[in-house]
Amino acid sequence: MTVGVLALQGDFREHAAVLAALGAEVELVRRPEELARVSGLVIPGGESSVMDKLSRAFGLAEPLRDAVHAGLPVYGTCAGLIMLADTVLDGIAGQQSIGGLDISVRRNAFGSQAESFETELDVPVLGAPPVHAVFIRAPVVEVVGPRATALARLADGRCVAVQQGNLLGTSFHPEITGEHRFHEHFLRMVSDAKFRGAAS
């Protein structure tokens, strides 16, 4: 099973290391030909406005949109979650997203880098123990539309993890804390999607 990591910008190496540790073949994706070879894709954390510009400059934005609509499993963390959101609040002028997730996310919802924080988060779909979640200039999911499901909320009720069919997103960064359960969950989504593809 070959899983891609969008490698235009951000912490793609950390994601690649987790996926490889879980036994996946990893392909770094910078070009449409590389995207065409993968059965799933991780969009890393970084800076969504830069990722947006680079994905358009590299001719990847449209192929990414097509892949999402065709049902490619995609997991976005932080900036990656912003890239997957149908609506981005507080984006820079002209910022676009790939979209697919029926959510509105607010960029930098917790303030600047200095306001980054860590917390324990209950994620029922992953079971116990709670996830140690690191938020770095993180977005928050302000509106969870009817097609998306909240997977985790902060104590104040704000949504920070969502799933919608083949799309998964977290405001925080499991790839930097040794937390592998989100990536395991994602790899199950990838193999389920492959199985369904093989059956049809």
Q: CA 87, 88, 89, 91 torsion: positive or negative?
A: negative
Cα torsion 62, 64, 67, 73 to 10°: value is: -160
- Least distance (Å) from ligand GLN to the CB of residue 188? 24
Of residues 46-85, which lie at the interface with ligand GLN (CB under 6 A)? 46-48, 78-79, 82
65 is in an annotated binding site: no
Backbone angles phi, psi at 95, to 5 degrees: -65, 135
List 14, 34, 78, 179, catalytic entry: 78
Give yes or no for residue 108 binding ligand GLN (CB under 6 A).
yes
39 vs 76 by CB, closer to ligand GLN:
76
Per-residue CA distances from 5 to 39, 68, 73, 147 (Å): 11, 14, 12, 25
In the residue annotation, 62 being an active-site residue is answered as no
- Least distance (Å) from ligand GLN to the CB of residue 76? 9
Give yes or no for residue 109 binding ligand GLN (CB under 6 A).
no
């009817």: which residue's tokens?
Answer: 146
Classified as helix, coil or strand, 181 is helix
137 is in an annotated binding site: yes
Give yes or no for residue 15 binding ligand GLN (CB under 6 A).
no
Binding site for ligand GLN (CB under 6 A): 45-48, 78-79, 82, 107-108, 136-137
